[in-house]
Amino acid sequence: MEWTALVSTLVGGGIATLSAGSLEFWRSKRQRVDQSTENRRVLYGSYLAVLSETRHTLGSLARARDMQSAERAAAVWDAYVQCISRRYEVEITAPTQVVAATENTHHAFRDLCVAVADGVTNDSDTYAQLRQAYKEAHALLRRAMRSDLGAEF
């Protein structure tokens, strides 16, 4: 038996093994990145949905003029509490620009909640200003999330 045939076979086997290992490494890395992106996409959607539901409830409470102040405040904070846990999930998962936008949105939304809990109604200038600040912060949050997910056009 010739040594060159044996050496060629061993080298060819080594190259094939290294090639397969390298291919598997990059495939698993791509899958991890894809899974991470999908997890953030679901989390962002969930957080935005909770914000939307809570904002809708808050708007209804701001229009309810016949409601007692203690009842209104309790309803505001019962609705708002849903947003807190999702916010923390986003903050531990998302990159810095999304976390900053989440913080800004949270603060603007909390200010709006405080005002409605204190009896501000939807036809006041204060409500309009706070609502506009929230809308602007929310738009920046959505933009940061879309950018993070690679959906920015």
Asked if pLDDT for residue 77 goes beyond 90, the answer is yes
* Position with higher pLDDT, 12 vs 102: 102
Structural domain for 89, as ranges: 37-148
Number of C-alpha atoms within 13 angstroms, CB side, residue 93? 20
Residue 29 in domain: no
* Position with higher pLDDT, 83 vs 152: 83
Residue 3 in domain: no
Tens-digit pLDDT profile for residues 88-119: 999 998 999 999 999 999 999 999 999 999 99
In total, how many domains does the chain have? 1
Q: Which of 149, 18, 124 is nearest to 141 (CA)?
A: 149
Q: Which of 112, 111, 105, 108 is nearest to 91 (CA)?
A: 105
Residue 27 in domain: no
Instruction: Map tokens 């808050």 to a residue.
Output: 58
Residue 14 in domain: no
Global pTM value = 0.76
Rounded CA-CA distance 83/112 in Å is 14
- Considering the chain, what is the average pLDDT of its residues? 87
* Position with higher pLDDT, 77 vs 35: 77
* Position with higher pLDDT, 5 vs 103: 103
Rounded CA-CA distance 78/80 in Å is 6
| Two tokens, residue 61 | 């409470």
Residue 95 in domain: yes
SS3 for 58-88, per residue? HHHHHHCCCCCHHHHHHHHHHHHHHHHHHHH
CATH number of the domain that 77 lies in?
Answer: 1.20.120
Q: Which of 115, 109, 118, 140 is nearest to 127 (CA)?
A: 115
Asked if pLDDT for residue 17 goes beyond 80, the answer is no
What type of residue sits at position 82?
A: Q
